[in-house]
């Protein structure tokens, strides 16, 4: 393991956040002697972020925990363009009003993880539409665009992979990497920012921003990326058969969020405890060593601690209690997702409305496979009209049907 002097890089290294650093020695020396301001950008394409964004959110939390200043950069401007990284097609363009509403909704999530305010290490939230929305096109091309060659831009994965698949890449999206680099420089100008962080897929964009800031401002800035967080089976962390694991409680209940972490693979428990909880490393090491079936105790700790960070300790303990009642005591559990069925609802509709299946067709297939139970009795009739009870899909998804 690399030896760092600064508490920042020690913390990030010990907990598994570091994949690449642009100049580790210089950044380590800087972080050891002064407060470093660092940022991560988030586009506002939905009203909530999801678990795939969580490692970046935790990275900002670690920055603040180590005595430095985080900036949450909301992409009010870049959301109007669309990041082509990892996308096979152009994203739907949102109105200015929809983007602003999404930013307001997303901010509430960050307030769970970061301390905002006016202090030297307090977090701030900034919207890049404040400067991107005021850019004049020709001066921007002359002052900034001349530092980017088409030859190099075509080598970036976000561009090359789209072209290799013969998927259209609009000129609008092609500009995204220039705008992201400009964000880095603008934040350095406005806030004395020294560090951009992000996932490993952002390395090229971060390097662009470092080079642009050096060429125009003559300022040394740095980049840190995290490894791609995957599950033990190699799948991208946060991808589930049910869709995105949202962070806002109106899109995913605290109970379902708790269950997501409780269902982690045995091999992932230690890694996830380090990345997504504040538990001390010695406690995590002890949980990692639990033998055999006792690893389930570690998963309960993971689920409870991760849920407490996002939804609060009370919601996490309520979810834990509901799971205990549902799985171990045979009860219904008060915190299960609830669906009002009025005077009656077709069971396929109920499964879909609860979010257990993406469509009624899939619900019928699950019933045909014998995977659906009502009050612990297997359901075989897809036309069954239900008026109440505990509806279960498999062993891990349960909901309450009420009138």
294: how many CB neighbours lie within 10 A of its CB?
10
Interior angle at CA 299, CA 296 and CA 301, nearest 5: 115
N-term to C-term CA, the chain: 58
Residue 91: its pLDDT value, please? 56
**CA-CA distance, 40 to 155, in Å (whole number)?**
23
Residue 241: its pLDDT value, please? 54
Residue 371: its pLDDT value, please? 86
**CA-CA distance, 79 to 385, in Å (whole number)?**
44
Q: Which of 268, 184, 178, 199 is nearest to 58 (CA)?
A: 199
Rounded to the nearest 10°, the torsion over CA 246, 70, 17, 54 is 0
Residue 222: its pLDDT value, please? 98
pTM: 0.79
Is the CB of residue 292 less than 8 Å from the CB of residue 235? no
**CA-CA distance, 129 to 401, in Å (whole number)?**
44
Domains, the chain: 7-226 (3.40.50.620), 254-327 (1.10.240.10), 338-402 (3.10.290.10)
Q: In what order do the strands lie in the sheet with 20-21?
A: 20-21, 222-226, 195-199, 37-43, 69-75, 124-127
Per-residue pLDDT of the chain (403 residues; tens, 9 = 90+): 468 999 999 999 999 999 999 999 999 999 999 999 999 999 898 999 999 999 999 999 999 999 999 999 999 988 877 655 544 455 567 888 999 999 999 999 999 999 999 999 999 999 999 998 888 877 787 788 788 777 777 777 667 777 777 777 766 677 788 889 999 999 999 999 999 999 998 898 899 999 999 999 999 999 999 998 888 777 777 666 556 899 999 999 999 999 999 989 999 999 999 999 999 999 999 999 998 889 999 999 999 999 999 999 999 999 999 888 876 655 555 567 777 777 788 888 888 888 788 788 888 988 888 888 886 778 888 888 887 777 888 877 787 776 6
Give the DSSP letter of residue 227: P
Residue 333: its pLDDT value, please? 54
Is the CB of residue 140 less than 8 Å from the CB of residue 134? no
24: how many CB neighbours lie within 10 A of its CB?
16
Residue 85: its pLDDT value, please? 53
Q: Which of 36, 202, 150 is nearest to 210 (CA)?
A: 202
Please state, in angstroms and as integers, the Cα–Cα distance from residue 69 to each residue in 37, 181, 371, following that order: 5, 20, 49
**CA-CA distance, 174 to 187, in Å (whole number)?**
22
Residue 239: its pLDDT value, please? 60
Residue 292: its pLDDT value, please? 87
**CA-CA distance, 24 to 10, in Å (whole number)?**
11
């Amino acid at each position: 393991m690399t030896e760092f002097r600064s508490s920042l890089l020690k913390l990030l290294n010990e907990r598994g956040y570091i994949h690449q650093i642009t100049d580790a020695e210089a950044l380590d020396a800087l972080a050891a002697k002064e407060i470093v301001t660092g940022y991560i950008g988030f586009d506002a394409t939905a009203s909530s972020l999801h678990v795939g964004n969580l490692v970046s959110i935790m990275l900002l939390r670690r920055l603040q925990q180590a005595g430095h200043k985080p900036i949450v950069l909301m992409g009010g401007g870049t959301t109007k363009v669309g990041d082509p990284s990892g996308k096979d097609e152009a994203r739907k363009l949102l109105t200015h009003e929809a983007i602003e509403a999404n930013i307001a909704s997303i901010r509430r999530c960050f307030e769970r993880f970061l301390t905002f305010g006016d202090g030297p290490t307090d977090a701030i939230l900034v919207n890049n539409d404040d400067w991107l929305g005021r850019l004049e096109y020709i001066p921007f091309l002359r002052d900034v665009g001349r530092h980017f060659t088409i030859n190099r831009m075509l080598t970036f994965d976000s561009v090359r992979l789209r072209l290799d698949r013969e998927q259209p890449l609009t000129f609008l999206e092609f500009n995204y990497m220039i705008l992201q680099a400009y964000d880095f420089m603008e934040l350095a100008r406005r806030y004395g920012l020294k560090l951009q962080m992000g996932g490993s897929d952002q390395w090229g964009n971060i390097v662009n921003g470092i080079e642009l800031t050096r060429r125009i401002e003559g300022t040394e800035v740095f980049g840190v990326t995290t490894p791609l967080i995957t599950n033990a089976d190699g799948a991208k962390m946060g991808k589930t058969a049910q869709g995105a694991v949202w962070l806002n409680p109106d899109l995913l209940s605290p109970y379902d969020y708790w269950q997501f972490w409780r269902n982690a693979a045995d091999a992932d428990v230690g890694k996830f405890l380090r990345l997504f909880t504040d538990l001390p490393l010695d406690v995590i090491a002890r949980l990692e060593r639990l033998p055999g079936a006792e690893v389930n105790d570690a998963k309960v700790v993971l689920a409870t601690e991760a849920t407490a960070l996002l939804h609060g300790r009370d919601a996490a303990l309520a979810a834990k209690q509901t799971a205990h009642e549902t799985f171990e005591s045979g009860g219904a559990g008060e915190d299960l997702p609830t669906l009002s069925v009025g005077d009656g609802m077709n069971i396929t509709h109920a499964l879909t409305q609860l979010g257990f299946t993406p469509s009624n067709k899939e619900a019928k297939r699950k019933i045909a496979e014998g995977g659906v139970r009502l009050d612990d009795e297997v359901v075989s009739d897809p036309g069954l009209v239900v008026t109440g009870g505990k509806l279960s899909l498999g062993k891990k998804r349960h909901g309450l049907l009420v009138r």
